[in-house]
Amino acid sequence: MKITNLSIQYRTAIAVLTLILAVGGIASYLTIPKESQPSIEFPQIVVTSVYPGASPGDVESTVTQVIEQEISSINDIDEMRSTSSEGVSTVVIEFTPDVETDKAYQEVNQAVDRAQPDLPDAVDDPLVNEINTDDFPIMTVNLAGSYSLARLKRVGDDLQDELEGIPSVLEANLLGGLTREVQVNADLSALKSHNVSFNDLTTTIQNENTNIPGGSIDIDRLNYLVRVDGQFESPADEIEELVVKTTQNGRNVHVRDVADVVFGFEDRSSFSRLRIFKRENDEEEMVTVPESKRRTTQVITLNITKRPGANILETSEKVKSTLDEFDFPSGTEVLVTGDQSEDVQSLVTDLENNIISGLIFVVAVLLFFLGVRNAVLVGIAIPLSMFTTFLVFQGLGYTLNFIILFSLIIALGMLVDNAVVVIENIYRFREEGYSRWEAARLGTAEVGGPVVAATATTVSAFGPMLLWPGVIGEFMGYMPLTLIITLASSLFVAVVINPVVTGFFVEAKGNEDDSSGGWRQWPALARYGGAALILMLGVTLGLANWKSLVVIGVALPVLYLLHVYAMKPLGDRFVESGLPRLVAWYRDYLKRMLQRDYSVSYAFLRNTGALGALTGGLVLAGLGGLVLLAAGRTAALFLLVPGGLLAGLGAVGVVVHSVEILYLGGWTTVQFGGGFLAIMGLVLGLNVWMGGLALSTTGRLLLAPAGIMLIGVLGALLPSPEHLFLTDNRAALLHGSLGGLLLIVGLFFLAPTGQAFFPDTDPNRVL
């Protein structure tokens, strides 16, 4: 491959590129924002209007219908629905998926502005909101205390200011609690007797509770701003002493003369209660709270929303740090619930563990076949591919959300395939006597095309998912995109980086311990670069999770000792004695299985006829189903009846052929059936013992291997013709059809769904 030839020609640059990818990938992984879910803008706009004291009917006729009439003129509306309740109107506008949310938001805002003059004067300004996943809270802080709820509300207000001061926190929405207010309850008879209007009372209070700018004063070249502070400091006492009016005889009428002033609470618009079922103990383990200690407590709730693109792990850590540093009054209990950062941290930890365990298992398996050096070369492909992927994510501005993390975990199983093929082929050329770089060039060139084709077929399978329309498509589109980027990164590593790295380090078997191939003979760049890479990986793992560093530190020497004292001797013994016997057995197996006697035409015709009947019957049945939906039952019968007959005839042919094969197998069939019976008996017995399977169901499932043994016994004892091997594709399909049917029926009985196998379902009764 030309790209591989170029990478080998400029191998020093590729070595530097590898180091850059490692450093950049580690930096990207540590700095890339992490959040629970991707930022998705739903094509929905919600208009909320408050009409205090209005009945649902009045809200519907005077508010909802007026707003709907203006909004209905907007293009690209997919659906509009509304709810009118006591004092509140809610209109939800859902647009088609291809509409830009910002444009839709502006158009709805303009429509609401046009409708506002036609709304009753008592209606508050309508609120227009768009739905975005960034608006969902990432965690909830609950405050409970042994003191009054009003004081707890003041503590919550102070904490709200502290939390909203965190740069990555967008909002800390406070719910619950009591808010103090001064209530002036006017006495209508007293107002009338003193000839004071209600407007006089409200105007007096409003005018007195203000700060008035008093201009400025110049003194000795200095300018001082003057402000007259008129706001109440003790509202209840000061309001009572306000003079509302002075009578003609000079008597002052105070607020206390015409009204009662009470320092009470606002009407509550939100309630927040908490009931604890599980909580952490001193060892940070979740334990169940005893039923006797479960109680519902009134709390103050703060819903924390992070800024778009902010790191959820860092934001959560800063919020918890603020809670630890905040000076709560004695008797305050703080409980954090709904912390989404825990799920994200769990996924990140799972990803790290999968990368580490995948690396260890790949190396452990390849130790058996390729030795330590080449196994490690294959294992390097995993972190390099992941580092490249993280760099691409950072460049595209993506965040690590749970869909991307889940996709990366899935992709881990496919990362190493390309590297195994390329490095093993380079290793083969090296064993044949080629030089390091010639082996790298020829080995990659020979398998490069198939590797690219295999990756392309896998990528093409995920490609159509990128075209998934709507909100679900935007949400799930991160999965195929992640898999495509990861597989493309693994392909780049396999055809560009792996040949160069392998060229530096690969040794043919028998030369690994030779002094000419020792690590001291490696190029200085390879030695120092490899040492720096290992050091950086160790530091990164130590910073992220010291336990992982300990696991790797223990696993590497264990794997080396396993290779020296177990894998290498076993591999040598397998190559010397086991592999020749396996090849001889497989050659004999192929010789026997490829025997065909087409002179016995009835067997060939029977197989062909059975498969043709089965396939034709299924096709006719499918067409009949379509006709049934389109034209009715009568027309469909002309296809369903012959389709059923053909499928039944084909099924009989499958059964006859399978039984004949078992019959001709004789004692071999008995041995196979016995082993099958033993395995099934063990598995099903464990299920019965654990209470997951009925004994009668187990007996029915065990009839299959017992029947196989019985057919084999009959074939061994009764006279039979010579073995006829007709193992072409038709026979394989026949056996596969019967095996698939038996598997479906067996699984149905093994894990019953509670429904009949062919249920007679009334669609009108389906909930």
For the chain, which domains are there?
2-36+343-591 (1.20.1640.10), 41-134 (3.30.70.1430), 139-179+270-338 (3.30.70.1320), 180-265 (3.30.2090.10), 601-758 (no CATH)
Weakest-pLDDT range from 113-117, 222-226, 466-470 = 222-226
**Do 108 and 45 touch, CB atoms closer than 8 A?**
yes
- Of residues 437 and 343, more confidence is placed in 437
CB neighbours of residue 385 within 10 Å: 31
State the burial class of residue 51 (Cβ atoms within 10 Å of its Cβ: 0-12, 13-18, 19+). Answer: buried
Residue 276 has pLDDT above 80, yes or no: no
User: Residue 759 has what pLDDT?
Assistant: 45
CA pair distance 621, 642, nearest whole angstrom: 8
Helix (H) or strand (E) holding 143: strand 139-145
CA pair distance 296, 144, nearest whole angstrom: 11
Weakest-pLDDT range from 117-121, 305-309, 704-708 = 305-309
User: Residue 745 has what pLDDT?
Assistant: 65
User: Residue 766 has what pLDDT?
Assistant: 36
Residue 507 has pLDDT above 70, yes or no: no
User: Residue 485 has what pLDDT?
Assistant: 92
Region 701-730: mean pLDDT is 74
Helix axes 729-750, 601-631, angle to 10 degrees: 50
Residue 339 has which token pair?
A: 């912390």
Mean pLDDT of the chain: 78
Residue 351 has pLDDT above 80, yes or no: no
> Taking CA 622 as the corner, what is the angle to CA 617 and CA 626, rounded to the nearest 5 degrees?
145
Residue 574 has pLDDT above 80, yes or no: no
- Of residues 506 and 598, more confidence is placed in 506
Weakest-pLDDT range from 56-65, 267-276, 667-676 = 267-276
CA pair distance 50, 71, nearest whole angstrom: 18
Residue 336 has pLDDT above 50, yes or no: yes
Q: Reduce the DSSP state of residue 442 to 3 states and report it.
A: helix
Region 548-569: mean pLDDT is 74
Task: Report how far apart the first and last C-alpha atoms of the chain are (Å, whole number).
Answer: 60
User: Residue 517 has what pLDDT?
Assistant: 45
- Of residues 225 and 323, more confidence is placed in 323
| DSSP-derived secondary structure letter, 752 | -
Weakest-pLDDT range from 39-43, 480-484, 526-530 = 526-530
- Of residues 519 and 602, more confidence is placed in 602
Region 125-154: mean pLDDT is 82
Helix (H) or strand (E) holding 13: helix 11-31
Q: What percent of the chain has pLDDT over 90?
A: 2
> Taking CA 514 as the corner, what is the angle to CA 512 and CA 519, rounded to the nearest 5 degrees?
70
pLDDT tier at 196, thresholds 50, 70, 90: confident
Do the strands 180-186 and 259-265 form a parallel or antiparallel pair, or are they unpaired?
antiparallel
CA pair distance 605, 586, nearest whole angstrom: 29
User: Residue 232 has what pLDDT?
Assistant: 58
pLDDT tier at 594, thresholds 50, 70, 90: low
Sign of CA dihedral 224, 228, 231, 237: positive
Helix (H) or strand (E) holding 288: strand 286-288
Weakest-pLDDT range from 41-55, 181-195, 424-438 = 181-195
pLDDT tier at 564, thresholds 50, 70, 90: confident
Residue 724 has pLDDT above 60, yes or no: no
In the chain, DSSP finds a helix count (H) and a strand count (E) of 27, 18
186: left (phi over 0), alpha (psi -120 to 50) or beta: beta
CA pair distance 486, 478, nearest whole angstrom: 12
Buried b (16+ CB within 10 A) or exposed e, 510-546: eeeeeeebeeeeeeeebeebbeebeeeeeebbeebbe
Residue 221 CA, chain-centre distance (Å), reads 67
Letter for the amino acid at 168? S
List all residues 6 or more positions away from 58 whose beta carbon is below 8 Å from its beta carbon: 51
Region 534-561: mean pLDDT is 69
pLDDT tier at 762, thresholds 50, 70, 90: very low
Region 221-238: mean pLDDT is 60
Q: Reduce the DSSP state of residue 230 to 3 states and report it.
A: coil
- Of residues 633 and 128, more confidence is placed in 128
Tokens 């026949």 correspond to 734
Tokens 């072409």 correspond to 728
Q: Reduce the DSSP state of residue 142 to 3 states and report it.
A: strand
80-139 pLDDT, tens per residue?
888 888 888 999 988 887 778 788 888 898 999 898 888 888 888 888 887 776 777 888
433: left (phi over 0), alpha (psi -120 to 50) or beta: left
Region 431-443: mean pLDDT is 87
HSE-up (13 A, CA, CB side) for residue 206: 6
Q: What percent of the chain has pLDDT over 70?
A: 78
Q: Which residues pair with 144 in a beta bridge?
A: 333
CA pair distance 31, 39, nearest whole angstrom: 18
Q: Which of 720, 705, 599 is nearest to 664 (CA)?
A: 720
H-assigned helices in 326-401? 340-379, 381-396
User: Residue 757 has what pLDDT?
Assistant: 43
pLDDT tier at 725, thresholds 50, 70, 90: very low
Weakest-pLDDT range from 269-278, 339-348, 473-482, 490-499 = 269-278
pLDDT tier at 756, thresholds 50, 70, 90: very low
Region 341-358: mean pLDDT is 75
- Of residues 47 and 735, more confidence is placed in 47
605-617 pLDDT, tens per residue?
777 788 788 888 8
User: Residue 492 has what pLDDT?
Assistant: 92
Residue 550 has pLDDT above 70, yes or no: yes
- Top-ranked range on mean pLDDT: pick from 383-387, 576-580, 599-603: 383-387
